[in-house]
Structure 1
Amino acid sequence: MATKYAIIMSEIKKQVENGTLGPGKKLPSVRELSERYACSKNTIIQAYHELEKEHVIYSVPRSGHYVVNRLRPHPDGITSAIIDFLSAGPDHEVMPYLEFQHCINQAIDMYKDELFHYTDLAGIQPLRLQVSRYLQNLQVFSPPERVFVTSGVQQALHILIPMPFPNGKRNILVEQPTYFGMIESAQLQNVTTFGIDLTMDGLDFDRLEFFFRHQEIKFFYTVPRFHNPLGHSYTNEEKKRIVRLAQKYDVYIVEDDFLGELDPNPKSDPLFSYDPDGRVIYLKSFSKIMLPGLRVAVTVLPTIMTNTFLRYKFSTDFMTSALSQGALEIYIKSGMLQGHLKRIKVLYHKKMQLLLAACEQHLPPDVVYTQPASGFYSTIFLPGHVKARRLAELLQQKNIYVDDARRMFLPEFQRDDMIRLSISQVSEHQIEQGVKEIGRCIRFLLGKRDSPSQLSTAWL
């Protein structure tokens, strides 16, 4: 006979599965459920605790419990939680909901004049000042006058891609693979974009120099730390070498340092630190380390480009949300951000180590995968005739979601032999289980092991 807490768990799962309780929906309080089911509060607490362990719900201190994702029925009629290696937003359980809510409430009072008027196109001055100070922790030293606020890094890229640069060149160079938003924006704006392979061994610097010398490269877009999708990070010496080549051939660098705060190596520097006066344009997003819906990022520009950048920004919007800017300024100034960063730095490092240990144990020996120290992403390179799209489809049938990474390539670089795993929204206890199933599916597609019937019951 099922225990009372197990019955309660089952009923909550059914409501999540049928949509009665949707993603983000707040669950009844412990007291309310204990009265409804005529049981002790400890029984409800145990049910909620088990649902948290299964990544069905998550808790917000002093607020309550919320639904993470809708559950999906297994083909054999068993309901199982999603193992989400696909989503790339921050971990729901560590996002600073209540802290930031407090900052928003303060911002409404402090910045009420800005809320009813158009503010500075470059961003509100108090935020630019706080960000200028904050970036010093990342070895980015720049006065507030060179810091510009945008509605996410995506807007900054959309501005920079068509914008004329002081070198008078028009073409763009990107790593392959790279962040899909960069590729999409370049293609929509019909800007000639070249690609250079980024492999397990890094960049081919002879090839990089060839592009810089012969292809009229306006800027080189790079994600030098915890690359999306590879998880790759350049060494300091490699960063210096990239900057030297850019200086030699009059090429600008657009450095997307979206996860720089997670770097466990205190001696790792951004490219910007090797040419702070004008060669490197530095992008910093607050979406991945905090709240995606905040839609605030900053761009550090050389002085010679500031007026042009503002003119192009004006064509996309008159201003970035003053409320978001004000709340972020308060969040940084109060010290809350630094406390939050300490927590997530430990969390994502631990998750990545769990992922790499699981890959080592459960993937076939001929499967190669990247091994980042932290960050969100690692990539598995598939062996033989195994196709990423087919593997992703097979895993989806088992409620495991991965990214086949096709959208992260320019058309001429397209490949179908790698999958990206993101650890940001998968719970710690699911990581090994998910990788184990990925290993099973790869073996099945290789024809080495596991029949289809075995695969269909492997979840049990």
Structure 2
Amino acid sequence: MVTKYRGILEWMKQQIENEQLKAGDKLPSIRILAEQFQCSKNTVVKALLELEKQHIVYAKPKSGYYIVDNYRVPSPNENIDFLSAGPDERIIPYEDFQHCINQAIDHYKAQLFTYSEQQGLYSVRKELVKYLQNLQVFTKPERLVITSGSQQALHILSTMPFPNGKKKVLIEQPTYFGMIDTLQLNQSDTLGIDLTMDGIDFERLESLFRNNDIKFFYIVPRCHNPLGHHYTNEEKKKIVALAEKYDVYIVEDDYLAELDVDSKADPLFAYEPNGRIIYVKSFSKVFLPGLRIATVVLPKTMIDSFVRYKFSADFNTSALSQGALEIYLKSGMFHYHLENVKQLYINKMKTLLNACSSYLPSYISFTKPKSGFYLTIFLPSHIDVDKLIYLLHEKHIYVDNASRMYLVGNKQKAIRLSISQVYENKIDLGIQQLAACIMEMCERKKYNPLSFKSYL
């Protein structure tokens, strides 16, 4: 639902974009705008002040507001953005969260601007425990640590010692690039296990667990980045059982749990014996990335060590962000926000899947996620992925090179598409252009599609 305030901003920009209002034009009076939008004069003034801050309008004393000369509203339709992975800017709840920040300042006052509890504000952890129950994660506030985003949590887990005394890390291939980058920067001894839309080879997983000194297995159980893969509950139970058998910890990155369309799907944490699963939950993808808030559910034996490593990095996560999130959760605003978010992304993913099925040549394989942000397209071996990305860039179409989501020596020719910030009405055109570029590059090489191996 668009607020009156946001409606005024969007109307004004649209009027300029359509040249209904031009540089130097005087705007209707505050009274007329209030009548037009059926809102208070204060709401109109607030919108005009925001437009003035953006240098779209300016005020003449005792005269009114005018359009700034040479102002041009950037058109979102100029770009087709399959690259960005943050939440859709059109549904970020700026105003609602601003109220929460103001309330947090009033409620917590000095607490927010001094050093706070290293593990995170206890009242926030209590609220997060309630929220996690909706995701089938049942725990206690004492086991939670609030971190400055999930990336910080993954960095700490990659560097700190684990109770099993082991050193190596196992990851899916492909996987989240931020994790690969962290492991490489920390010079961690890392192994990979191939993941396709059919899952992983469990005999291979058991062999890796049995024959290697594996500290933990990093896994994205649903809405996988970059494939969009989802494990079944039975597969999750098998993974947990093997981890228990061979004394391997599991780091479960459940960053997009809210977008899972399967109401019966459980996290691995639901099957954990003896505190073997470390559950990481980010709020960046469905909420506000700049908030830098995530939470980690840890075994009791690891909390002190984890907090010590975190303290050496940043003392504590922003108390202001924590306090505002607590109020946002308590108020029910987050639940309402998620309902809108989920439906938007479901619709976008359906549109993307239909477009790929309709326009990509038959010799091109692509994953078929049931929900989430990401879809991966696998390319013929002769295709220069960087050149393809460059050709698309020239057409204002942006995609990601998925080869960076594999360990060195195991890279595939692939691109990742994200639906999070692309406009739904531009998806078809983007895939048509992508298909045309691929076919053109294949034609130049006189490519034989029958020789292309599917990685699905």
Tell me if both proteins adopt one fold, taking TM over 0.5 as the criterion: yes
- Residue 377 of structure 1 corresponds to 374
- Which letter maps to 1:427? Y
- Residue 310 of structure 1 corresponds to 307
Task: Map 1:34-433 onto structure 2 (within 5 A).
Answer: 36-37=24-25, 81-275=78-272, 277-415=274-412, 417-433=413-429
Any idea what SS the aligned residue of 1:244 has? Answer: helix
Kept in 2: contact 1:95–1:291 (CA 8 A) = yes
**Displacement, 1:269?**
0.6
TM-score, normalised to structure 2, is: 0.83
Deviation string, structure 1 residues 173-230 (Cα, Å, up to 9, x no partner): 0011111111111111111011111123211111111111111100000111111111
Distance 1:106 1:382, change over 3 A: same
Distance 1:62 1:224, change over 3 A: farther
Deviation string, structure 1 residues 414-447 (Cα, Å, up to 9, x no partner): 23x1100000000110111101111111110110
Kept in 2: contact 1:443–1:449 (CA 8 A) = no
- Which letter maps to 1:379? T
Distance 1:40 1:108, change over 3 A: closer
Distance 1:228 1:38, change over 3 A: same
Any idea what SS the aligned residue of 2:188 has? Answer: coil
Any idea what SS the aligned residue of 2:415 has? Answer: strand
Kept in 1: contact 2:167–2:215 (CA 8 A) = yes
**Displacement, 1:153?**
0.4
- Which letter maps to 1:9? E
Any idea what SS the aligned residue of 2:401 has? Answer: coil
- Which letter maps to 2:437? C
Unaligned runs of 5+ in 2: 1-12, 34-45, 57-71, 447-456
The number of residues matched between the two structures is 400
Deviation string, structure 1 residues 5-36 (Cα, Å, up to 9, x no partner): 9994277xxxxxxxxxxxxxxxxxx9xx4894
- Which letter maps to 1:433? L
Deviation string, structure 1 residues 102-151 (Cα, Å, up to 9, x no partner): 10111111121212321100000111000001000000000010011000
TM-score, normalised to structure 1, is: 0.82
Aligned counterparts of 1:62 and 1:284: Cα–Cα separation in 2: 35
Any idea what SS the aligned residue of 1:316 has? Answer: helix
Residue 438, structure 1, aligned to residue 434, structure 2:
yes
Deviation string, structure 1 residues 287-340 (Cα, Å, up to 9, x no partner): 111000000000000111111111111111110000000000000011111101
Kept in 1: contact 2:16–2:73 (CA 8 A) = no
Residue 9, structure 1, aligned to residue 17, structure 2:
yes
Unaligned runs of 5+ in 1: 12-29, 46-60, 73-78, 451-460
Any idea what SS the aligned residue of 1:424 has? Answer: coil
Distance 1:40 1:355, change over 3 A: farther
Aligned counterparts of 1:199 and 1:38: Cα–Cα separation in 2: 59
**Structure 1 residues 273-282 or 233-242, which shifts more?**
273-282
- Which letter maps to 2:285? K
Any idea what SS the aligned residue of 1:447 has? Answer: helix
Any idea what SS the aligned residue of 2:337 has? Answer: helix
Distance 1:266 1:157, change over 3 A: same
Kept in 1: contact 2:113–2:319 (CA 8 A) = no
Distance 1:254 1:355, change over 3 A: same
Aligned counterparts of 1:412 and 1:135: Cα–Cα separation in 2: 38
Kept in 1: contact 2:16–2:22 (CA 8 A) = no
Aligned counterparts of 1:276 and 1:105: Cα–Cα separation in 2: 42
**Displacement, 1:409?**
1.6
Kept in 2: contact 1:281–1:299 (CA 8 A) = yes
Percent sequence identity is 56
Aligned counterparts of 1:337 and 1:298: Cα–Cα separation in 2: 16
Aligned counterparts of 1:104 and 1:276: Cα–Cα separation in 2: 39
Instruction: Give me the CA root mean square deviation.
Output: 2.7
- Which letter maps to 2:99? H
